[in-house]
Structure 1
Amino acid sequence: MTAIHIRGLVKRFGGFTAVDGIDADVPRGEFFGILGPNGAGKSSTMRMLGCVSPPTDGVLRVLDMDPVRDGHRIRARLGVCPQADGLDAELTVGENLTTYARYFGMSRRAARERTAELLEFMQLADRAGSTIQTLSGGMKRRLVIARALVNEPDVVLLDEPTTGLDPQARHVVWERLFRLKQRGVTVVMTTHYMDEAEQLCDRLVVMDAGRIVGEGAPAALIKEHASQEVVELRFSGASQEECAQALPGIGERVEVLPDRILLYCANGEKAVADVHDRGLTPTGVLVRRGALEDVFLRLTGRQLID
């Protein structure tokens, strides 16, 4: 019942190692996420899963087949939503789907029926005759996802499906993806949005420098690498570093940033009371729950990577 099996997977480009010996298994019907900063190896991994880039080393099986030897058979059962839309501006919304459906050997009638079904599913039925230029960014992304579902795939690969969308459009896409999850479709998604991963993914891996540095369900990762609650403290006058010297022993961990101090703890209100008991008066206090973003930053660091 494993849709994807990975052991010691490596991808090199000359002397550069983009993916450095990763292991993972994705059961059928799971919504699986791949997180990581730019250059972590996410896109290289997705291209190998999509059978468009052969592995340099290791074992990769997709639907119990070898992508190198059985690439054409695997691609027939994959749905792929790339970062770039790649929609045909010369065709209408509906024609973009019916034409793509014909590549999979569907009859014209079956292609039209599948197109109507998918446009309804992605809330685009009223735009079937529209040109691509008239669509908003959110509509285009929903159309690309619909295109990825034309062949009723066993595995869907989504590469940053909501990048660049406004909050309303993102939530519409989330709702559609959640319905896919309810239908039992196996989905592998890369994203830079931690809330998106936390909402949709049954399980995920965090990649950094080509390796997997964390793996598990979102809640389990938060429990392991962050804390139940996080207190954000801001102090004026004295530097954050000076104030932090009075905080050891409060909570599980203290992190000092240029503009604030983070206290990772089980009880935020108690931690704030302990801070005041030590004679400190912060100018700003925020108590929030631990989040996947805290895990991401702890595992991959806060340094910007271009």
Structure 2
Amino acid sequence: MTESTHPWLEMEAVEAWIETRCVFHNLTLSLRTGEHTAILGPNGSGKSTLVRLIDRSIHPVVKPGSHLRLLGSDLPLQWELRRRIGLVSTELEQRVPRRVRVIDLVLSAFFGSIGLRQDQTPSNTQLDRAFQLLELFDIAELAQERWTCLSDGQRRRVLIARALVHQPDVLVLDEPTNALDLRAKHRLLNQLRQLCQSQTTLVMITHQVEAIIPEITRVICLKDGAVMQDGPKDHILNGQALTTLFDTSLQVIEAGGYRQVMPLS
């Protein structure tokens, strides 16, 4: 993928609150299309708040010298965000109705809902696209299954398929491998590696270093609501930086393009 100089996310001196807690005091960050990126940080670092700013479920404080632009706009149209930015979050997963069928959940992305309503009738083209994505993630046989019957790994793949219906410019995944067993994790990571060969920019938001696939080129370390480090993956994923980020003595072992974090003996 050829890198673009055009940022899809621009944050300048952003202040953001969750209820009575100020998560970001003065966050400045830019993410560009064509640049596969991991945003890495411990629990409580602000990762989930960043996701909520991207999906516009919360908004930053309006103040002089501060802005948050998505797709080059301070006030992007909701339909354009859905079309160009695919997003999978823990919050979305928790909102899925237990009895919804897999195929209906994927198709509902065309209508901006979570599950199909009676007044929403997919076209043949939309049906073809949904089944194509289920095939891509090896879950076509689950099309008629109910959400409640799926494993964690299957649910994650269904939601990623749903996020890709519009062939978005950017795919944002919040903790994509969380709660997955080793087989499900490796299967999902292999599929994300294949996805990186397309024209979709991947952004992984995670606290798991081992989930960062080889195709990721940039790593942003987030801690206490601020960017601690930001740069090429090979410069960031080392024992010294990760020891500071996670407040524990760590060493890094690399194999096959992946990193594994171990306690420093």
Given that 1:7 and 1:60 are in contact with CA atoms closer than 8 Å, whether structure 2 keeps it comes out as yes
- 2:89 counterpart of 1:82: yes
Cα distance in structure 1, aligned partners of 2:178 and 2:18: 26
**Cross-structure match for 2:147:** 132
The partner residue of 2:42 within 37, 45, 50 is: 37
- 2:110 counterpart of 1:101: yes
**Cross-structure match for 1:296:** 242
Q: Tell me: CA distance 1:103–1:12, structure 2 relative to 1, closer, same or farther (3 Å).
A: closer
- 2:12 counterpart of 1:4: no
Given that 2:137 and 2:157 are in contact with CA atoms closer than 8 Å, whether structure 1 keeps it comes out as yes
Q: How far has the Cα of 1:38 moved from its partner?
A: 1.4
Cα distance in structure 1, aligned partners of 2:219 and 2:167: 24
**Cross-structure match for 2:164:** 149
5 Å-filtered alignment, 1:100-119, equals 100-103=109-112, 107-119=122-134
Q: How far has the Cα of 1:149 moved from its partner?
A: 1.1
Q: How far has the Cα of 1:21 moved from its partner?
A: 1.6
Cα distance in structure 2, aligned partners of 1:5 and 1:145: 24
Given that 1:78 and 1:155 are in contact with CA atoms closer than 8 Å, whether structure 2 keeps it comes out as yes
Please give the per-residue CA displacement for 1:94-120, whole angstroms capped at 9, x wherever unaligned.
122123324489842122111111101
- 2:68 counterpart of 1:60: yes
Percent identity between the aligned chains?
A: 27
Please give the per-residue CA displacement for 1:8-51, whole angstroms capped at 9, x wherever unaligned.
22213466320132222222122211111111111111111112
Cα distance in structure 2, aligned partners of 1:100 and 1:55: 26
Q: Tell me: CA distance 1:209–1:293, structure 2 relative to 1, closer, same or farther (3 Å).
A: same
**Cross-structure match for 1:28:** 33
Structure 2 unaligned regions, length at least 5: 1-5, 114-119, 250-265
Computed over aligned residues only, the root mean square deviation of the Cα atoms, in angstroms, reads 2.4
User: 117-126 vs 79-88, which deviates more?
Assistant: 79-88
- Larger relative contact order (CA 8 Å, sep ≥ 6): 2
- Aligned pair count? 233
Q: Tell me: CA distance 1:139–1:293, structure 2 relative to 1, closer, same or farther (3 Å).
A: farther
**Cross-structure match for 1:209:** 224
Cα distance in structure 2, aligned partners of 1:99 and 1:299: 39
The AA in structure 2 aligned to 1:63 is L
